[in-house]
Amino acid sequence: MGRTVCRAIETAASEVVGHLALIDLLVSCAHDPDPRCEAARTGAGPGQEHYGGDLLTAGMNSTRGEAVLAIGALLRAADTTPQELLPLLGRLVVDPVMSVRVCAAEAVVALLRHAPETALDLAESLFTDAPVAIHEARTTHRLLTLALIRDTQRFAPELLRALDGPEKAAQHAGVTWAVLSVQGRLIPGLPADPAELATAARQGAAEMAAGDPAYGASLLRGMFHDGDAAVRAAAARSMTDVASLPPGAADDLIGAFLSSPALAEHPETLVRALAGSASRLPSRAIEACQALASVSERNSGEGRRGYAPIQRHLIEAVLRLYRQGDARVRAQCLDIIDTLYRTGAHGLTDALSGER
């Protein structure tokens, strides 16, 4: 019953915020004995955990977890801080069960808009004495990131703890570290270079940088050369959007990618971007096509799978370059077409016929 009430409050938060009668209901739910244990860390069978081990899902299926999610919804809907909710939130951020705390993190993020200093105090309480696995949840990851942006010195020790935590926690922490890095917010005591991070944290940092390559280019250039294949793969995904970057930024990133092992491992990310771009291709696109043709020829000669789609996109990119280029670029395009012809690129003859 308590969970149902809390979900109803959460759903209708904008309409019921300010109704003091709801506080008694939330007080009751905040003191409910459910959950009694860490359900997401309890075995559901051999090699399995309830809720797939996901703390947030477990919290959302508990009464106290739903209570604090309802508090968060009311905080988001309110124009000012509902003071009567703060004691309840203060209780739930130090709940003995992690799955409740990760739900409380959502409410603390909502409170940042109204009362940032109070929210930062609650964030510190939430992280204090909590197992490091608490950073596996996206809610606590977001709270830690926002807290660090507001007070890096205060929350730097918590970031260090998360960076050394379990794989998922370290990956989230790597994302947070990357945000601080590109914003120039890293302070003494925090790792200054991705090479100082654990593999999972570097992968998180690469994912963050690849999601906005113009923003994360300073990290990506080194991560294309990372010693771990998963990190290189995460960084290579930045090439998907490279053709939409400003010309100078695109050329710099393409150059770094072409000189890295990530090119041979993930050529499809770059070739699809060049073939699918609706804008004028960057100046280093011809160099990219030359390198991609070499990768395609090598893969074809070694009988590797996957080179045919690369060739198909490469044909399209080369023909676009031929149409937009000067005499020198056109000559280079013809050399690439010769390479594709030698490897028997499917669709090449039809594509060239369409150009006549």
- Per-residue pLDDT tens digits for 211-256: 999 999 999 999 999 999 999 999 999 999 999 899 899 999 999 9
**Spatial contact of 312 and 320, defined as CB atoms under 8 Å apart:** no
Distance from C-alpha of 340 to C-alpha of 294, rounded to nearest angstrom: 9
Q: How confident is residue 35, by pLDDT bands cut at 50, 70 and 90?
A: very high
Bridge-partner residues for 45, per DSSP?
Answer: 48
Distance from C-alpha of 121 to C-alpha of 130, rounded to nearest angstrom: 15
- What is the pLDDT, as a whole number, of residue 341? 86
Q: How confident is residue 300, by pLDDT bands cut at 50, 70 and 90?
A: confident
Q: How confident is residue 133, by pLDDT bands cut at 50, 70 and 90?
A: very high
pLDDT exceeds cutoff 70 at 122: yes
- What is the pLDDT, as a whole number, of residue 69? 96
- Per-residue pLDDT tens digits for 163-194: 999 999 999 999 999 999 999 999 999 999 99
Of 71-75, 335-339, 352-356, give the lowest mean pLDDT range.
352-356
pLDDT exceeds cutoff 90 at 16: no
pLDDT exceeds cutoff 60 at 58: yes
Q: What percent of the chain has pLDDT over 70?
A: 94
Token pair of 104 as six digits: 């409380």
- What is the pLDDT, as a whole number, of residue 9? 82
CA 159 to each of CA 112, 156, 263: distance values in angstroms, whole numbers, following the listed order? 19, 5, 32
For the chain, the C-alpha Rg in angstroms (whole number) is 26
Token pair of 351 as six digits: 């594509």
pLDDT exceeds cutoff 70 at 46: no
Residue 79 C-alpha from the chain's centroid: 30
